[in-house]
Amino acid sequence: MSANPPREPVDEPRLTSLSHGGGCGCKIAPGLLSEILRSSQAGMPLPPELLVGIETSDDAAVYRLNDEQALVATTDFFMPIVDDPFDFGRIAATNALSDVYAMGGRPIMALALVGMPIARLSTATIGRVLEGGASVCREAGIPIAGGHTIDSVEPIYGLVALGLVHPQRVQRNAGAQPGDVLLLGKPLGVGVLSAALKKGLLDAEGYARMLASTTRLNTPGPDLAALAGVHALTDVTGFGLAGHALEMARGSGCSLALDWSAVPLIEGVRELAAQGCITGASGRNWAAYGAEVELPAGFSAEDLALLSDPQTSGGLLLACAPETLPAVQAVFARHGFGPAAVLGRVLERSAAPRLQLQRSAV
- Condensed to tens digits (0 to 9), the pLDDT of residues 280-289 reads 999 999 999 9
For 218-236, the pLDDT digits (tens) are 999 999 999 999 999 999 9
- Sheet containing strand 341-349, edge to edge, reads 230-235, 316-320, 181-184, 341-349, 254-259, 355-358, 293-294
Q: Please provide the average confidence, as pLDDT, over all residues in the chain.
A: 91
More confident residue, 3 or 172: 172
Residues 6+ apart with CB under 8 A from 38: none
58 assigned binding-site residue: yes
For 283-315, the pLDDT digits (tens) are 999 999 999 999 999 999 999 999 999 999 999
Q: What is the CATH number of domain 47-165?
A: 3.30.1330.10
Q: Which residues are catalytic?
A: 24
148 assigned binding-site residue: yes
Categorize the per-residue pLDDT at 25 as very low, low, confident or very high, splitting at 50, 70 and 90.
Answer: low
151 assigned binding-site residue: no
For 152-192, the pLDDT digits (tens) are 999 999 999 999 999 999 999 999 999 999 999 999 999 99
Least confident of 59-63, 210-214, 291-295, 351-355: 59-63
Report yes or no: 79 and 171 within 8 Å, Cβ to Cβ: no
Least confident of 17-21, 128-132, 145-149, 280-284: 17-21
Residue 33 reports pLDDT greater than 60: no
Residue 167: φ, ψ to 5°: -55, -30
Mean pLDDT score, 33-40: 58
Residues 6+ apart with CB under 8 A from 106: 100, 163, 164, 165, 222
59 assigned binding-site residue: yes
pLDDT at 3: 43
> Which candidate, 12, 24, 19, places its Cα nearest to that of 193?
24
Report yes or no: 287 and 205 within 8 Å, Cβ to Cβ: no
Rounded CA separation 293/353 (Å): 10
Torsion of CA 336, 341, 342, 347, to 10 degrees: -110
Mean pLDDT score, 235-246: 96
Nearest-5° angle of CA 47, CA 176, CA 95?
70
360 assigned binding-site residue: no
Cα–Cα distances in angstroms (integers) from residue 7 to residues 15, 112, 354, in the given order:
16, 22, 53
The total of other beta-carbon atoms located within 10 Å of residue 66's CB is: 8
* CATH topology agreement for domains 47-165 and 180-358: no
87 assigned binding-site residue: no
303 assigned binding-site residue: no
Per-domain residue ranges for the chain? 47-165, 180-358
Query: What percentage of the chain has pLDDT greater than the value 90?
Result: 82
Q: Judge residue 164's burial from the number of C-beta atoms within 10 Å of its C-beta, 0-12 exposed, 13-18 middle, 19 or more buried.
A: middle
Fold adopted by 180-358? Phosphoribosyl-aminoimidazole Synthetase; Chain A, domain 2 (3.90.650)
Mean pLDDT score, 246-253: 95
